[in-house]
């Protein structure tokens, strides 16, 4: 069953075509990765999927609903971890989760319990009362992931979940994403780390200049083109994928 179906998806920013007429399907329970260098269009695709902005043309169906027609219904069912930290710096770790829970109309007594569970899940319980500004980068990413889980989403959209993380925090995030996958949560992530794509993703779409140049499982892509995913990218584009 498809959780996401994109057809002819295009996004222009003025004269710049950031996403260029792409089609893809994402199936229930899989981890699907968009892999590509900076500027490839990954974040634009993510933002359209989680209804932060509409496509210029084409459409995406999420849970069978068009992102153009049913953005609020879609948003209520997905969890989003944005590329940039948009936590409220004036609030504590715990309060950030509680405030976010209000968007989903989660009653206060439930959100409080949920927040504790999620802080426990991401190893942040002892940071509950700490202000955001005193968290490390790794802790902020983990908090963004716990926040994304507050509405118990069937689909998680993760934009560069581990970029800039120290190896310890990266391992924690990988482990939690693996666990969520084992619970049948569908994961969509972007990354420019080959290792992350190989380790987590059932299938990857390799993006370059707004286009998808290959979609398949990492193993099949590497088998077809020889070498690592990095070599696959080099072979398809003639350029190395810097990370």
Ligand X SMILES: Nc1ncnc2c1ncn2[C@@H]1O[C@H](COP(=O)(O)OP(=O)(O)O)[C@@H](O)[C@H]1O
Nearest residue (CB) to Mg ion, 43 versus 162: 43
Question: Taking CB under 5 A as the rule, does residue 44 contact Mg ion?
Answer: no
Question: Taking CB under 6 A as the rule, does residue 242 contact ligand X?
Answer: no
- Residue among 3, 26, 33, 42 that touches ligand X (CB under 6 A): 42
Nearest residue (CB) to ligand X, 56 versus 112: 56
Q: Report the C-alpha gap between 115 and 110 in whole angstroms.
A: 8
Nearest residue (CB) to ligand X, 38 versus 72: 38
Q: Which of residues 63-122 bind Mg ion (CB under 5 A)?
A: 83
Q: Is 179 exposed, middle or buried (0-12, 13-18, 19+ CB in 10 A)?
A: exposed
Both tokens of 175, joined, read 């482990």
Question: Taking CB under 6 A as the rule, does residue 16 contact ligand X?
Answer: yes
Beta bridge partners of 203: 32
- Residue among 43, 96, 185, 186 that touches Mg ion (CB under 5 A): 43
For the chain, where are the alpha helices, taking DSSP H only? Answer: 42-49, 71-77, 93-102, 108-121, 137-148, 167-182, 194-200, 218-225, 229-237
Question: Taking CB under 6 A as the rule, does residue 18 contact ligand X?
Answer: yes
Question: Taking CB under 6 A as the rule, does residue 191 contact ligand X?
Answer: no
Both tokens of 36, joined, read 């590509």
Minimum Å distance from CB 204 to ligand X? 14
Contact 136, 93 (CB under 8 A): no
Binding site for Mg ion (CB under 5 A): 42-43, 83
């Amino acid at each position: 069953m498809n959780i996401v179906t994109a057809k002819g998806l295009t996004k222009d920013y003025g004269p710049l075509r950031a996403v260029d007429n792409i089609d893809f399907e994402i199936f229930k329970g899989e981890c699907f990765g968009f892999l590509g260098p900076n500027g490839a269009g990954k974040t634009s695709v993510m933002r359209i999927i989680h209804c932060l902005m509409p496509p210029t043309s084409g459409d995406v169906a999420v849970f069978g609903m068009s992102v153009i027609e049913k953005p609020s219904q879609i948003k209520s069912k997905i969890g989003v971890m944005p590329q940039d930290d948009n936590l409220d710096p004036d609030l504590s770790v715990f309060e950030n989760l509680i405030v976010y829970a209000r968007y989903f109309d989660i009653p206060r007594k439930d959100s409080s319990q949920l927040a504790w569970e999620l802080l426990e899940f991401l190893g942040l319980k002892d940071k509950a009362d700490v202000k955001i500004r005193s968290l490390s980068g790794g802790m902020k990413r983990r908090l963004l992931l716990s926040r994304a889980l507050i509405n118990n989403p069937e689909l998680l959209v993760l934009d560069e979940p581990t970029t800039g993380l120290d190896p310890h925090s990266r391992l924690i995030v990988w482990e939690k994403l693996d666990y969520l996958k084992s619970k049948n949560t569908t994961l969509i992530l972007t990354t420019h780390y080959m290792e992350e794509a190989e380790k987590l993703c059932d299938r990857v779409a390799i993006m370059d200049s707004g286009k998808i140049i290959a979609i398949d499982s990492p193993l099949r892509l590497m088998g077809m083109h020889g070498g690592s995913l990095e070599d696959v990218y080099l072979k398809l584009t003639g350029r190395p994928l810097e990370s």
